[in-house]
A and B are shown apart, each in its own frame.
Chain A
Amino acid sequence: MSVLQKARPVSRTEAPREPRVTDEHGRRIRVGELVVRYVLLLAVLALTVGPFLWQLSTSLKGPTEDIFSSPPTFLPGHPTLHNYERVADTIPVWDYALNSLKVAAANVVTNCVGSALAGYALARLRYRGRRVATLVFILAMLVPVEGIIIAQFTTMRELGLNNTLIGVVLPGCVGAMNVLLMRNAFRNLPYEIEEAAYVDGANVWQRFLRVALPSVRGTVAVVAIFAFMGAWDDFLWPLIVLSDPSKFTLTIGLNYLHGTFANDERLVAAGTVIAVAPLIALFACLQRYFFRGVGEGAVKG
């Protein structure tokens, strides 16, 4: 399924011996082509990662350094963490980050469990109403969320869960998109895998837990990343549900920066780096499973 997996051993063993670079089928790649490829790769790299590095560089520049100069200075002359200190002085970054972490972790768990279960039901189990159930998730994916936020809040209040972290997690705790991703992953599994377990007398829960689920680990990683990203990045919903500042999440906290120091590019840059760094770190850890997972879940719509 995955290009990465198939190819990794090759790149590991062959990489140090420079001229014998091969493609995924073990054929040699010409040096000229190789140069062209690396030039293109570096160009795209500059485009995709460059903006983040520029933000990082801006956040490390001291108050006396000109951040508007032309031609631009890419590296800070005297790198300083001063801007980060000011962010921490203005808002309780660690408390808010902890809240965000709780919300994100809960969101990851509920999404992985909930969408794996639902995805399995949609892909593998046969029952009346399966198509309606599938349709429910497809429609839910198409609903424009900007229009329903107040109705969501009213419901949450009726449940008595406003101003709680549970209230923040609940509406997105089993994302429709994630359910459909899991469904596709399960559908792409050959039936033979489960057949053996069935013959051994395993019931549906056992087949799900011991056979099907382990085979779609990659998609679970995708769902985990999406769930973490979604919870970590959300601003408007936590703002509306939460009233108590001690429960605020990091995105709300960073908004204080924008509201209080809108004129100071360095400080805003430091805030964005704080917001994005944990995501990049998490992704770096999970990327191996992740790339495999997107393949499983999304190839066949």
Chain B
Amino acid sequence: MTTSTVTRVRRQLPSSPWLFAAPGLLITGVFILYPFVSTVVNAFTDRRTLVPGKFVGLANFRELLHDDMFWIGLRNSALYVVCVVPALVVLPLLLALLVRKNIPGITFFRSAFYTPVVASIVVVGLIWVWLLDERGLVNSLLETVGVGRVGFLSDQWLLLFSAMAVTVWKGLGYYMIIYLAALANVPRELHEAASVDGAGAIRRFLTVTVPAVRSTMVLVAALSSVAAFKVFSEVYLMAGPSGGPAGEDTTLVMLVQRTGTGLTGRVGYASAISLVVFVVTVALMLLVLRADRRDES
């Protein structure tokens, strides 16, 4: 298509673009960005839930540097990204390859694999807490096969890894669908050429499939890393409001919730943590996008 036709198609009534975008912009502005701007302002005050507070400069951020809980939160949120993102980039791709071929009943399997995505995180949390309970199904099974019971919900690290497993479990279906769509665009000839060359399944996967869906992998990495860094519900529901033994499973957003809510909440300090979370997620996003751009060029 030539540029001129594109321009012609894009021409429209003078006021309409803003009319189209107005409802969305208005709602987002009033209910997301405006409250967020007040969060940014609050981050430089000592505001509390019922006390307006005053400007304190960078005091909240200086306090962060000496707050053990902040570093624990940063560690756990970062660890979450490091562990969950590779799993969510690779496993759904393998799953997509598995459900790709149209064998009888495959539509059922695809839908079934998507169910965890549909269920609410609170329900998912309750289900897994019950499954991983000291006397829940998983431990019953482990005991039956002679492994003995495991304290999934009482050990600091097992708790964090269990929460990660739940995040991956809930995310599998979503990213699987994204990969499925991307795989549909991979030309068959590439695979056949590789087969003729005598490449095995694993080599075909690495030399044909992976390069073909590379940009989708970047997208999945971007989406899942932002979500992983902001993780709250899974850990909160499994480790409890105080964040597991000695608070060692606290994530940054849990810390925001814990310090900033309730009648004695330190809104100012919690806002400072929120701001750190925001800056890190923006940085993660930019990092991934830059990697993507480099790939393209």
Question: Smallest CB-CB separation from B276: which chain A residue?
Answer: A144
Interface of A (DSSP majority class): helix
Q: Does A15 belong to the interface (CB within 8 Å)?
A: yes
Q: Does B13 belong to the interface (CB within 8 Å)?
A: yes
Q: Does B151 belong to the interface (CB within 8 Å)?
A: no
Contact between A229 and B118, CB atoms less than 8 A apart: yes
Stretch with Cβ within 8 A of B (4 or more), from A16-24, A82-90, A91-99: A16-24
- What is the minimal beta-carbon distance from B77 to any residue of chain A, in angstroms? 11
**In the complex with contacts A117-B24, A143-B278, A44-B113 CB distance below 8 A:** yes
Contact between B101 and A29, CB atoms less than 8 A apart: yes
- What is the minimal beta-carbon distance from B120 to any residue of chain A, in angstroms? 3
The interface bits of chain B over 193-213 (1 if a CB of A lies within 8 angstroms of the residue's CB, else 0) are 000000000000000000000
Contact between A48 and B8, CB atoms less than 8 A apart: no
Contact between B24 and A174, CB atoms less than 8 A apart: yes
Q: Which of B103, B177, B180, B256 has the most CB of A within 10 A?
A: B103
Q: Does A81 belong to the interface (CB within 8 Å)?
A: no
Contact between A171 and B20, CB atoms less than 8 A apart: no
Among A151, A268, A284, which residue has its beta carbon within 8 angstroms of that of B39? A151
Residues of chain B within 8 A (CB-CB) of A192 are 1
Q: Does A103 belong to the interface (CB within 8 Å)?
A: no
Contact between B120 and A15, CB atoms less than 8 A apart: no
Among B131, B218, B256, which residue has its beta carbon within 8 angstroms of that of A147? B256
Stretch with Cβ within 8 A of A (4 or more), from B52-60, B78-86, B138-146, B239-247: B138-146
Q: Does A295 belong to the interface (CB within 8 Å)?
A: yes
Contact between B257 and A71, CB atoms less than 8 A apart: no
Task: Give complex CA distance A51, B183 in Å.
Answer: 29
Stretch with Cβ within 8 A of A (4 or more), from B68-76, B152-160, B266-274: B266-274
- What is the minimal beta-carbon distance from B171 to any residue of chain A, in angstroms? 11
Contact between B10 and A126, CB atoms less than 8 A apart: yes
Q: Does B65 belong to the interface (CB within 8 Å)?
A: no
- What is the minimal beta-carbon distance from A270 to any residue of chain B, in angstroms? 11
Q: Which of B111, B131, B282 has the most CB of A within 10 A?
A: B111
Residues 277-301 of A contacting B (Cβ, < 8 Å): 279-280, 283-284, 287, 291, 294-296, 298-301
**In the complex with contacts A118-B24, A280-B118, A268-B126 CB distance below 8 A:** yes
Q: Does B277 belong to the interface (CB within 8 Å)?
A: yes
**In the complex with contacts A58-B130, A148-B35, A205-B16, A301-B25 CB distance below 8 A:** no
Contact between B216 and A7, CB atoms less than 8 A apart: no
The interface bits of chain B over 249-291 (1 if a CB of A lies within 8 angstroms of the residue's CB, else 0) are 0000100110011000001001101100110011001000000
Q: Does A217 belong to the interface (CB within 8 Å)?
A: no
- What is the minimal beta-carbon distance from B98 to any residue of chain A, in angstroms? 6
Among A7, A145, A149, A204, which residue has its beta carbon within 8 angstroms of that of B16? A204
Q: Does B222 belong to the interface (CB within 8 Å)?
A: yes
Contact between A194 and B24, CB atoms less than 8 A apart: no
Contact between B32 and A148, CB atoms less than 8 A apart: yes
Question: Smallest CB-CB separation from B29: which chain A residue?
Answer: A136
Residues of chain B within 8 A (CB-CB) of A4 are 107, 110
Task: Give complex CA distance A5, B24 in Å.
Answer: 32
Contact between B144 and A71, CB atoms less than 8 A apart: yes
Contact between B182 and A148, CB atoms less than 8 A apart: no
Residues of chain A within 8 A (CB-CB) of B104 are 11, 15, 21
Q: Does B297 belong to the interface (CB within 8 Å)?
A: no
- What is the minimal beta-carbon distance from A248 to any residue of chain B, in angstroms? 15
Residues 156-194 of B contacting A (Cβ, < 8 Å): 169, 172-174, 177-178, 180-185, 188
Enumerate chain B interface residues (CB-CB to A < 8 A): 1, 5-6, 8-10, 12-13, 16-18, 20-21, 23-25, 27-36, 38-39, 49, 95, 98-104, 106-107, 109-116, 118-123, 126-128, 130-131, 135, 137, 139-141, 143-144, 169, 172-174, 177-178, 180-185, 188, 215-216, 218-219, 222-223, 226, 230, 232, 253, 256-257, 260-261, 267, 270-271, 273-274, 277-278, 281-282, 285, 292
10 A–B contacts, CB within 8 A, in A order: A38-B103, A142-B282, A143-B33, A147-B39, A147-B271, A155-B34, A179-B24, A203-B12, A208-B20, A265-B130
What 6 A-B pairs have minimum CB-CB distances, sorted nearest first? A295-B181, A233-B120, A118-B24, A151-B35, A121-B20, A147-B274
Enumerate chain A interface residues (CB-CB to B < 8 A): 1-4, 6-8, 10-11, 15, 21-25, 29, 34, 37-38, 40-41, 44-45, 47-49, 51-52, 54-55, 58, 68-72, 110, 113-115, 117-118, 120-122, 124-127, 130, 133, 136-152, 155, 170-171, 173-174, 176, 179, 191-192, 194-195, 198, 203-205, 208, 225, 229, 232-233, 235, 251, 258, 265, 268-269, 272, 275-276, 279-280, 283-284, 287, 291, 294-296, 298-301
Task: With A204-B12, A283-B115 given, name 19 new contacts (CB 8 A).
Answer: A22-B102, A25-B188, A41-B109, A49-B112, A55-B127, A70-B140, A117-B20, A122-B21, A126-B17, A140-B28, A171-B31, A229-B118, A258-B126, A268-B126, A279-B118, A291-B110, A295-B180, A295-B184, A301-B215
